[in-house]
Structure formats: C-alpha cells, structure tokens
Structure 1
Amino acid sequence: MTTYIVKRFFIMIITVLVIATLTFFLMKGIPGSPFNQDRGTSEAVQANLEAHFGLDQPWYVQYGVYLKSIATFDFGPSIKNPDQTVNDLLGRGFPISFELGIVTVLVALVSGITLGIIAALKHNGIVDYMAMTLAVLGISIPNFVLATLVIQQFAVNWQILPAATWSSPMHMVLPVIALATGPMAIIARLTRSSMLEVLTQDYIKMARAKGLTPFKIVVKHALKNAMLPVVTILGTLLAGILTGTFVIEKIFAIPGMGKYFVDSINNRDYPVIMGTTVFYSSILVFMLFLVDVAYTLLDPRIKLAKKGGE
C-alpha cells in the first residue's frame, strides 16, 4: 500500500507539471499582450508594464519563474488588478466554489443512487421508466441551458427562488440544480444497471432465502458491490462538476473562482489563468488518486501488489 501511494504521488506531481507546462506554452503562444487592450496606453508604457511583470524576459526565464511560483505556491500579483495577488483571489473565491461543488456532489450522489436503486427494484415498471426518462433528460440538457431554464421558471415566472448572487442558502438551490442534474442522471443509470446485475447473484438469492428484508439485502449486501462502477467514474464527474462551476458561477453571478477565471481569460491575465489552472488541476488529480484508493477498499478482490504497485 505504501509503495502504491508513493508511486501515485510522483505520478500526480508529473501530471500537474505536464498540465502546468502545457498551460504556460499555450498562453505564450497566443499573440499580443495583456496591455494591448488598453488603447490609451502608449508603447513606452506598455513596454514598462511588460518589464515590470517580467513579460519581456525570454520564455525559459519566464518558465523558470512560473515553476518556482508553483513550488512555493506564490503566483504573484494579478496583471489587471496589481493590488491583489492570485493567492488572494484563490483565497476569496475558492471557498465559495468549493462549497457549491461539494453540495452539488452530495446532491448528485444521494439523488442518483436513490433513483437508481428504486429503478432497479421496480425493474420494467412505471417507476423504472419514469426514472430512466428523467435520467436521459438530465444527461441530454447541458448545465448552462438548464440554468437559464430554471432561472426563467423559478426566479422570473414563479418568483419563488433568487436567481443571482450568494448571500443565503436559497441562492444555492438553482445553481445546484443546474450542476447536479447531469451527474445525478449518470449515477442513476449506472446504479440501476449495476444493481440489476448484483441482484441476480447467488449470495443475494441466499440472503432472500434466509428471509432478510429487502432493505437489508440492498443496503448490507448489494449496494457495496453495485457502487463500484459509480466510484470508477466519480473522478471524472468531480472534474466535470468543478470545472462546470465556472460557467454556472458566471450565469448566477456567484463570486467564486469562475468569475475571476472567466474575467482573467477576457483580460489575458496570465498569472490568474495559470495559477487557477494549476490549483484546480492539483485538486482534481488528488481526487482521482482518492478514487483509486476507494475502489480498492470497496472491492476486497482488488489487491495492491507489493512490488511497484502493479
């Protein structure tokens, strides 16, 4: 187990380094300068600003400074807001994005697993058909389209929920619906298909023969094995939820990292773009590692080799 964790740790570092390198060279490959948009700024002033932020240095010097900033977790000041550092923006925006992401994940997991179990237990019944129809709709509608629909219906037409900002728990409802519906539908379909397979196994038939209640059979015997496919895709779903919050935050005017990231792209704010990308990449890679470990804990048939983690 220790060998596997150490190996995965180094793989995580390499993965983040590759992502950081690609982000750096993609940003360098875009023509122009962050100061070109300021039409009232003279060429001399632009040159001084580029020198101040080190943008006039050769690419390898900038790359070295960039790697140092990653190692020390100090991404420097924002170009468009020099009185604020990237770390300040992360510290202010990430807790809100994290709160939104965590609530979305919990809602998607609980509702998706519940819906999948009910559909499996009522296989080929009206409840099964209704649940899978809902799941198909959830997968088919993009979250930004669903966001506009729920705003129109719940905030404009019915006026029962607020549509923007982030000042109370009620402001969380519509963004969570927009973000959680797609993952919930995927989890429901996977849970249903996996439960249908597990419920035909011999040990489930034995549990029924012993007279165990359906609740005990599902929760104590079937659910753990049925969760393996869900855990497998959980890392991908988490990545989609966390990156999807950027667009949803912009739509609902939520003061999270999505606001700063989208604005930094429009303003060519290199430190914010690269700092945010590395920060979120590190989180997602770490989550994928946790998913791998959880997979081995859920299924005792999967063992980590003692040599090299193979």
Structure 2
Amino acid sequence: MAAEVEQQNGAEGAMETGEREAVALEGERRETFRRLRESASSCGGEGEKDVEDFQPLQMQVIDAFWRCFTSEQNDLALAAVHALGTIARISRATSVFQLFVHLRAASDALEIYAGREDVLLYISQLTSIKRLTTLPLRSACLLYQQFGLRHHQRRPDISLEELRDLLVAQSAKFAARILQSKQTIADIGQIMFTKDQMVVLTHGRSSCVEKLLRDAWVKHKKRFSVIVTRHEEKPGYFVRTDVDLLMESISANGIPVSNTSVCSIGRLMAKIDMVVVGAEAVAENGGIVNRVGKTQINTSHTHLRALAARKTLVPLR
C-alpha cells in the first residue's frame, strides 16, 4: 500500500513539476518582454500605438486558425502555430519589440477565443473529443513565442525582417515536424511488439497511438488485439465519442478491438501485455499530462492505470 501511495505521489509530482516549468517559462517570457520594452522606450518606443496596430489582426489570427484547423486533420497545436505565423507575416510592426507585442496579443486573443465554452463545444463536436482541452494550443503558442525571443536573446541586433522570416519559416517547419514525429513514433511499433497475439490497452483517442497501431498491423505485419477503456458515463444513442471513432478506425484495418470500463482495469491488467496512451504534453522530467486527467476522478483513473501496470510489470508506453 505504501508503495502504491509513493507511486501515486510521484505521478502527482510529475504533473506539479510540469505546471511549475510552464510558470517558469512564462516568467522568462515576461522578463524578456520587460527588457525589450525598456529598450524600445529608450529609443522612443511605440507606446499605445502597439495596441492600436494590432486591432485589425485580431480577426486575422482567428481566421487563420480556422483555415488550418479545418484542413489539417484537426490539430490544435498546428493550427495555432499556423495562425501566429500568419500574424508574423502580415503584421505591420516597425520594430522587433512591436512584432513581439503583436505575437503576444495574437496568442492571448487566440487562447481566450479557443477557451470560450461555445468554441470548445463546437470543436468537441467537430472532432468527437468529449474531454477537449486547449493545452496543446497554449503550449504551441508559448513555444512559438519562445523560439523568437531566444533568437533575439542570442542575437540582440537581429533585424525586424530577418526575425520575421525566421518566424514564418518556423511555422512552416512545425507542420512537417509534427508529421515526422508521428511517423517516428509509429515506426517504433515494430520494436514494441515483441511477440504475436499481444493484448494492448489504450485510453481515449490519440492520433499517435492510432497511427502506431495501424502501422504495426498493416506495415510491420504484427498481430495483436486492442482493448479501449471507456468512462462510465455513456452518451445518448447515435452520439459517437472519440472512443467510438478510434474503434471504428482500427477495426477497419482488421485489428480486433473491444472496449471496457475504466473501473475494470485492475482485474484486466493480468491479461494485458502493453499499455499505450497518448499525451497532451510531456514535462522536462518525463511527467505526462493527459486530457483525461483534468478532474480528480479522471486523475485517479490515470493513476490506477499506471499503478496497475507497474504492479503487474506491464510496459506503459
């Protein structure tokens, strides 16, 4: 019992550390902006003009987000970076500081917009993700701004146009890196499946996990079955959830799949060979943040899976 409590505390500590790292990153960004603002003021900075110049861009960042989100497989992080890249390209900033102000204001406006209840509901219906979180969007916005700020820290004399070109190029590279990363993760499947007829447990719908399972079956000819866990609350008839879509997708490739309640994980774990779950974010210390861990009950389910896997020595991927 003591060991389980220690493991649970470790899982909670990983999430708390991830939150502290996000706070520290935000603090670093604020400090950099403070230095940039002081530098701009000493050179006759723009003042209120920064806010005025950004006003026409508020709708632009939202429009750019929706253009990418509806055409790039519903990836929040990718759409967010595409939208900020659009702002970097069309911004009429006349200084490096003003460009950063525009990017930050665009990021804040996008986060506020995406966090609205009606917008979250629409995106949830569009993607069939029941427990949607904007964490990938916020993380992508923060990392994109940090990319530009760190370039400026390394080269304080960088010109406005050079920085603008770097930011626009980075937004284009981001999409390629996402696709490349998913393919790399999927290719690991041939190593993870050490024998035929393995039983794999997963929770929720992750595009990375879905591709890994599909490639392992189709590309690497691995043979296995999948169990998908589902929360107790069942939506009404004719309402498809992310679990339903995952099961439909992988069963279409011939993969045997079934679903079970999260409450039955403990007794099922003895039959499981491997646990594979997606993640919304990964902290520097290895802690995993998943959208199903937003509330206390969901967090306990996440801990239950991890503890049960460790107790039975089942690999947790």
What TM-score results when the alignment is normalised by the length of structure 1? 0.29
Which structure shows the higher strand fraction? 2
Greater C-alpha radius of gyration? 1
TM-score normalised by length of structure 2? 0.28
